[in-house]
Structure 1
Amino acid sequence: VNIVGGFVISQRMLALFRKAGTQDHSYLMLAPGVLLAVAPFANPALIPATGVASSLMCIGSIGALANMKTAQSGAFIGMSGVAGAVSAALAGMPPAALPHALGLLAAGGVGGIAIGSQ
């Protein structure tokens, strides 16, 4: 609930300050998140590296959120970092636990969207 809801609320707050007609390509910052989400499952030896890269992205996103010009990119960098960290954690779990963990993540994500969208 906290992860997804927090990002929903962050996007809503950033939308309040967005100027009409402004081109925004910060969604491209989600591309590293896709790579980080796939890497630990493609090669389990990449779990530690994915964790480090995800941590650095999360820390960098906090710095980017401090300035309105970079805040939108910072939010997407943070999403990518969190996606990588969650994937690294899931890749290290026993396969029998994955359906339960994914179910709980999905339920929490739906709850976060519902609460964050109010």
Structure 2
Amino acid sequence: SKGLDKAVEPVSLPVIAEHDLMSSPDVPLAILKRKLQKTNDVDAVVGYLNEIHAHLQVRELLGNTMRKIVEHVVEDKEEVQDYLDERSDLTQYNCYKTAVRHYKKHCFNWHEQKFEYALRHL
């Protein structure tokens, strides 16, 4: 049959020397930082700095909110930071699912780009 008689030549791809990988919640901030680095326009610099500042304020708000939630739930206040720093295995899926729905509905809807970073705290 046509086209099947000839072997396809393998494609050589360039070697990637520097991996610039990041998680998706970090992408908007990285884009703003790159735009800031590339511009010489003072007004654009001010605009990008304001956007970066607003983005970082939202991150801080998300972190502080999760801290308050953990402080409210955890009995031993000395363990709060451990709960915030560590990832635990999910054993109570239904409870987790209910908590996540509540967090999304009443705290931060991560479908809005500015709150996408909220996923980091779940």
Report the TM range for the smaller structure's normalisation. 0.3 to 0.5
Larger radius of gyration: 2
TM-score normalised over the length of structure 2:
0.32
Higher relative contact order (CA 8 A, sep 6+): 1
